């Protein structure tokens, strides 16, 4: 069965080529997607197409929320940036200066910024974790702090797919006495009226998409059996918490318990419009709010990790600042002052300081093909 590609929503005159590129990137298999684009604090595109749930035939609507996966990391990094702006956090200070327990097994010298750039050496747990272990955030952080690193911290990087969130949350907790999610909800989502949550309530769960996977995505999740691939997959599964493909039927990120779990690295649920609105407010005043100063953005943007990882995929390689992906061969971008994060299966949430652009994109069929490069190519001549 194939689906007809038509978009619903709003597009300002002149931006139709971007919507065309968006539609071309949607699978012909039953699925859906949404795209939002803000420029200079104004939403110029907010469109959606296809099905929110291929099993029931429910169509994607303006209120449909979808799993953003690691777009969550970029949203979490905005909280970190606000602490930098407030003078509460020095990204170059040792992690152990605010979290003494993290110094165990020689991890004490790694900086806060490098810890957020996947250089802390604890990308995956040595002991299997179940979902019940993740519910107690402080206990999980204590286990991570006590863990022997998988490589010399600060000397190399590997993607901390889920443990990033534990590190980021503990940094915020140690600095403010509040959780990262509390700060995000109160200082970012609420002022902007942005429909995004790391711990979805029943009302939001009623509007979420059902996720599916392509055969190519499923094959990628199997790995090749090498030790490097095993550790990279373990960073995603935590040993026993998630399936390697992240979604298998009702398991993984289709489970409402996961959508409500409050994991700052991965469980943000939201609309494309809300994600784009937040990133717009990072780079330019939006609805009366500017979330970060240019100085805080530059602090996050500074490249801390690039090139080949200890455990991970082949080139082209992404690059990271403090919690954000930045412009690189492995991160499609508009300008060098581009920051945010992509998410598993093709999600995207980014801001561009040069063009004062906020972008949000989500789809419910996870695939290895990135839909964003053609969208950026269509957009670039219009900026």
Query: What mean pLDDT is predicted for residues 61-76?
Result: 98
Mean pLDDT, residues 244-254 taken together: 96
Number of C-alpha atoms within 13 angstroms, CB side, residue 329?
7
With bands split at pLDDT 50, 70 and 90, how would you rate the model's confidence at 221? confident
Q: Which two tokens stand for residue 205?
A: 């769960």
Give the per-residue pLDDT at 314.
82
Neighbours of 15 (CB within 10 A): 18
Could you tell me which residues come within 8 angstroms of residue 229 by beta carbon, excluding any fewer than 6 positions away?
223, 311
CA 218 to chain centre: 20
The tokens of 173 are what? 């907790």
Query: What secondary structure does DSSP assign to 176-231, as a single string?
Result: HSS-HHHHHIIIIIHHHT--EESS--HHHHTTBPPPEE-HHHHHHHH--S-HHHHH
- Find out whether the peptide bond into 316 is cis, omega within 30 degrees of 0: yes
Question: pTM here?
Answer: 0.97
pLDDT range class, residue 171, cuts 50, 70, 90: very high
| Bridge pairing between strands 365-366 and 212-213 | parallel
Helices of type H across the chain: 16-24, 71-85, 112-116, 131-134, 137-146, 163-176, 180-184, 190-192, 202-205, 215-222, 227-237, 256-259, 272-283, 294-301, 372-379
C-alpha 89/C-alpha 296 separation (Å) is 11
- Separation between Cα atoms, residue 155 and residue 120, nearest integer Å: 9
How far apart are the C-alpha atoms of 75 and 279, rounded to whole Å?
8
Share of the chain above pLDDT 70, in %: 98
At 174, the pLDDT band (50, 70, 90 cuts) reads very high
CA dihedral (187, 293, 119, 100) positive or negative: negative
Q: Is 213 within 8 Å of 345 (Cβ atoms)?
A: yes
Contact 53, 63 (CB under 8 A): no
| Distance in angstroms (rounded) separating the CA atoms of residues 146 and 162 | 17
Positive or negative CA dihedral for 379, 380, 382, 383?
Answer: positive
What integer is the mean pLDDT of 45-58?
97
pLDDT digits (tens, 9 = 90+) for 282-293: 999 999 999 999
DSSP string, 71-123: HHHHHHHHHHHHHHHTT---TTSBGGGT-GGGGGGGTTTSBHHHHHTT-SS-S
Q: How many CA atoms lie within 13 A of 110 on its CB side?
A: 31
Position 127 pLDDT exceeds 90: yes
pLDDT tens digits for range 175-219: 999 999 999 999 999 999 999 999 999 999 999 999 999 999 999
How far, in Å, are 123, 130, 180 from residue 148 at the CA level? 11, 20, 25
Say what the alpha-carbon torsion angle 154, 157, 162, 166 is, to the nearest 10 degrees: 10
Cβ within 8 Å of residue 4, ≥6 positions away = none
Q: Are strands 357-363 and 347-352 parallel, antiparallel or unpaired?
A: antiparallel
β-partners of residue 9 are: 47
What is the helix (H) or strand (E) element at residue 42, kind and residue range?
strand 42-53
Kindly tell me if the per-residue pLDDT of 117 is higher than 60. yes
What's the rounded Cα separation, in Å, for the pair 61 and 42?
Answer: 21
How many other C-beta atoms lie within 10 A of the C-beta of residue 135? 12
Q: What pLDDT sits at residue 1?
A: 45
């Amino acid at each position: 069965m194939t689906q007809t590609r038509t978009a619903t929503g709003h597009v300002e005159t002149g931006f139709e080529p971007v919507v065309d590129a968006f539609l071309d990137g949607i699978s012909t298999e039953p699925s859906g997607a949404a795209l939002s684009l803000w420029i200079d604090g104004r939403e110029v595109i907010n469109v959606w197409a296809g099905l929110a749930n291929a099993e029931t035939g429910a169509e994607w609507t303006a209120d449909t929320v979808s799993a953003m996966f690691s777009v969550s990391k970029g949203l979490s990094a905005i909280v970190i940036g606000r602490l930098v702006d407030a003078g509460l956090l020095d990204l170059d200070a040792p992690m152990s200066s605010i979290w003494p327990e993290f110094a165990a097994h020689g991890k004490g010298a790694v900086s806060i910024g490098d810890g957020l750039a996947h250089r802390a050496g604890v990308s995956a747990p040595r002991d299997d974790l179940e979902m019940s272990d993740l519910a107690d955030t402080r206990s999980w952080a204590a286990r991570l702090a006590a863990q022997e690193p998988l490589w010399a911290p600060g000397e190399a990087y590997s993607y901390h797919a889920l443990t990033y969130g534990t590190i980021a949350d503990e940094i915020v907790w140690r600095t403010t006495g509040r959780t990262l999610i509390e700060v995000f909800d109160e200082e970012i989502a609420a002022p902007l009226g942005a429909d995004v949550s790391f711990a979805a309530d029943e009302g939001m769960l009623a509007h979420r998409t059902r996720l599916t996977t392509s055969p190519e995505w499923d094959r990628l999740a199997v790995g090749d059996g090498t030790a490097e691939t095993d550790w990279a997959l373990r960073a995603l599964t935590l040993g026993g918490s998630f399936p390697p493909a992240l979604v298998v039927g009702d398991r993984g990120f289709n489970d409402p318990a996961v959508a409500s779990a409050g994991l700052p690295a991965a469980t943000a649920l939201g609309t494309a419009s809300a994600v784009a609105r937040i990133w717009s407010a990072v780079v330019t005043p939006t609805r009366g709010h500017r979330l970060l100063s240019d100085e805080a953005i530059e602090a996050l943007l500074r490249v801390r990790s690039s090139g080949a990882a200890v455990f991970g995929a082949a080139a082209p390689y992404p690059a990271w600042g403090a919690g954000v992906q930045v412009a690189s061969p492995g991160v499609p971008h508009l300008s060098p002052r581009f920051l945010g994060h992509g998410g598993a299966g093709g999600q995207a949430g980014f801001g561009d300081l040069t063009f004062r652009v906020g972008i949000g994109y989500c789809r419910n069929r996870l695939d290895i093909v990135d839909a964003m490069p053609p969208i950026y190519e269509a957009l670039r001549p219009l900026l």
